[in-house]
Chain A
């Protein structure tokens, strides 16, 4: 192995693995040696066991499916409506005058705080969770789409128009392209918030789902189980984020780093 290859191996494989081992080993050791109660902080071995049992025994799978459905459905509904309204507001001056004041006003409302109302309105089933998730995923897309469609450099529009481009051609050939990086930033923010939205919805009142399961486990002082679900939730978040990033790298290939990040919630 050459020096650089060894260096790269150390950096990308050895270092993270070693850090992980030291962290988990240290955690395990402290919990065992100091005799910390499992209700306060479960040792990693217990969490791993709960994780394994939960997945293998199918204990989690139904709840996992429910939560995934809520996340994805809420994300798609919220992102699509944010996108559409964003186009409308950015492109139709009348729509901007009608909607924009309400958008600004509603954006400042903490969406999590209206979750209880939505559960009352839509019940304890998946519908209310989808609505909450959609509400949360809506704003990052709305804000970023509006911003992206307004981000086209003036000189690019001048250039196209000087060659007799129509409004539609300007939209298709530059404005849409310039908006894409912003839209992807919005999607990325929205997908991560969607996971939060679904869980918060389940906390408020649900009959199934990983959030519901966390409450159950917590109620039974099954801390290892709670931690195992937390791991699953982070894996879901990381996975969905990776999917969006992969699509972003393919579609917005001309941007090295992402656009401006707008937090919508």
Chain B
């Protein structure tokens, strides 16, 4: 069964190892644009002011469109501004210059339609697992009884059935991270921002969670922005993989992944899959930062 994407995904682009020539830069620019996008990021720049009076240029001229129901993976070396980009999209971090629109409207703050998975689980230690998952429901004053059933289903999906009434400090790091994922999904947001959600998981659990995420995305037609350090994971899940440079973070390549859907774990071993991985990895090699 192949899923028809809402977006036309252009194919037949030549393979590139790194975007260096003007023609290649233009190709990247073309690949960052999508018609009828949910999110448009234009010339986005973020400069942090540190306490000692210095500035850190975290993001530089980031341009990206994210289509409705599209799955985007972002890879890039540590410290290149992935989390920064995610927080700006979540509406909790100001931008220095550039514009971001969601549904054609300038981004002005957090939205009920967004669910964020943070790099650290950020659970509240005085709340049980279930109460933690229900935080968005409580904050947004949604119908608690209806969403509690959903929260329990999500926890079961994440392999946490039976842990609903435990406290976070009774959970392992990977379990806490999975609670954080359930929390981001509980209010059924249409736009998911995920910051290395599976980083703390073992390979097996990670693959299961990848499959679950693909299933959730296929069934509920969400738009997903996933930051990951795992290139195979990025390829496995994404419609497009965005590669960022070391600080100041810029988008150096956007790679459409036209592998058929639904994807299976067995695809990891196909030559097509390997070519996508190799193309992304080449950027890391050329940047001198071997990661993953």
Say whether, besides A161-B92, A161-B110, A177 and B136 are in contact (CB < 8 Å). no
Interface centre among B90, B112, B139, by most chain A C-beta atoms within 10 angstroms, is B139
Once the chains bind, are B118 and A159 in contact (CB under 8 Å)? yes
A159 to B110, CA, bound (A): 10
Are A254 and B126 touching (Cβ within 8 A)? yes
Interface residues of B in 18-72 (CB under 8 A from A): none
Within 8 A of B (CB), among A119-174: 155-156, 158-165, 169, 173-174
- Proximity string of chain A (231-265) to chain B, C-beta cutoff 8 Å, 1 when within and 0 when not: 00000000000000000000001100000000000
Alpha-carbon gap, A49 to B110, bound state (A)? 71
With a cutoff of 8 Å between Cβ atoms, the chain A residues found around residue B206 in the complex are none
Asked if A159 meets B126 with Cβ closer than 8 Å, knowing A164-B110, A254-B167, the reply is: no
Contact, CB under 8 Å: A156 / B124: yes
A233 smallest CB distance to B (angstroms):
36
- Closest residue of chain A to B137 (Cβ to Cβ) is A163
Q: How large, as a class, is the contact surface on chain B?
A: 20 to 34
Give chain A's interface residues, CB within 8 Å of chain B.
155-156, 158-165, 169, 173-174, 177, 253-254
Contacting residue for B140 out of A155, A163, A177, CB 8 A: A163
Question: A158 touching B126 by the CB < 8 A rule?
Answer: no
Task: Report how far A254 CA is from B132 CA in the complex, Å.
Answer: 14
A240 to chain B, nearest CB (A): 26
Q: Which of B87-126 contact A (CB under 8 A)?
A: 87, 90-92, 109-112, 114, 116, 118, 120, 122, 124-126
Q: List 12 A-B contacts (CB under 8 A).
A: A155-B118, A155-B120, A158-B122, A159-B122, A159-B135, A162-B92, A162-B110, A163-B135, A164-B112, A164-B140, A177-B124, A254-B125
7 tightest Cβ-Cβ pairs between the two chains A and B:
A163-B136, A254-B125, A159-B122, A165-B139, A162-B116, A254-B126, A163-B139
Q: Which residue of B lies closest to A174 (CB)?
A: B124
* Chain A residues touching B, majority SS: helix
By a CB distance below 8 angstroms, the chain A residues around B139 are 160, 163-165, 169, 173
Name which of B90, B122, B136 has the most chain A CB atoms within 10 A of its CB: B122
Cβ of A253 and Cβ of B136 under 8 Å apart?
Answer: no
Partner of B91, one of A156, A159, A162, A169: A162
Q: How far is the CB of B119 from chain A (nearest CB, A)?
A: 9
Cβ contacts under 8 Å, B87 to chain A? 158
Say how far B191's CB is from chain A's closest CB, in angstroms: 12
Question: Which residues of the partner chain B approach A155 to less than 8 Å between Cβ atoms?
Answer: 118, 120, 122
**How far does the alpha carbon of A163 sit from the alpha carbon of B117 in the complex, in Å?**
11
Q: Which chain B residues border A169 with CB–CB below 8 Å?
A: 139
Additional pairs, 13, CB under 8 Å, beyond known A163-B187, A164-B112, A254-B167: A158-B92, A158-B122, A159-B122, A162-B90, A162-B116, A163-B116, A164-B110, A164-B140, A173-B124, A173-B138, A174-B124, A254-B125, A254-B169
Cβ of A162 and Cβ of B125 under 8 Å apart?
no
- Per the bound structure, the CA–CA distance linking A234 and B41 in Å amounts to 67
Tell which of A156, A160, A163, A173 has the most Cβ of chain B within 10 Å. Answer: A163
Residues of B within 8 A of A164 (CB): 109-112, 139-140
A233 to B11, CA, bound (A): 85
**A157 closest partner in B (C-beta):** B92
Give min CB distance, B225 to chain A, whole Å: 13
Tell me which of A160, A161, A162, A253 contacts B126 (CB under 8 A): A253
Report the separation of the CA atoms of residues A23 and B286 in the bound assembly, to the nearest whole angstrom: 76
Q: How far is the CA of A165 from the CA of B112 in the complex (A)?
A: 10
Nearest Cβ in chain A — how far from B91, in angstroms? 7
**With a CB–CB cut-off of 8 A, which chain A residues contact B138?**
173
Closest CB-CB distance, A159 to chain B, in whole Å? 4
In the bound complex, how far is the Cα of B90 from the Cα of A158, in angstroms?
A: 10
Report chain B residues within 8 Å CB of A163. 110, 112, 116, 135-136, 139-140, 187
Residues in A neighbouring B140, C-beta threshold 8 A:
163-164
A159 CB contacts on chain B under 8 angstroms: 116, 118, 122, 135
Q: How far is the CA of A165 from the CA of B110 in the complex (A)?
A: 9
In the bound assembly, the distance between CA atoms of A163 and B87 in angstroms comes to 12
- What residues of chain A lie closer than 8 Å to B114, measured between beta carbons? 162
Distance in Å from the Cβ of A96 to the closest Cβ of chain B? 20
Q: A23 to chain B: closest CB distance in Å?
A: 40
Nearest Cβ distance between residue A258 and chain B, in whole angstroms?
Answer: 15
**B141 CB to nearest chain A CB (Å):** 10
Contacts of B135 in A (CB 8 A): 159-160, 163, 173
Chain A nearest CB, measured from B118 CB (Å): 6
Cα A155 to Cα B87 with chains together (Å): 11
Q: Provide the bound-state CA to CA distance between A163 and B114, in Å.
A: 7
Between B87, B92, B125, B126, the greatest number of chain A beta carbons within 10 A of the residue's beta carbon is seen for B126
Question: Chain B's nearest CB lies how many Å from the CB of A202?
Answer: 41
Q: How far is the CA of A218 from the CA of B160 in the complex (A)?
A: 67
A159 closest partner in B (C-beta): B122
A177 to B136, CA, bound (A): 18
B254 CB to closest chain A CB (Å) equals: 26
Q: Which residues of A have CB within 8 Å of B91?
A: 162
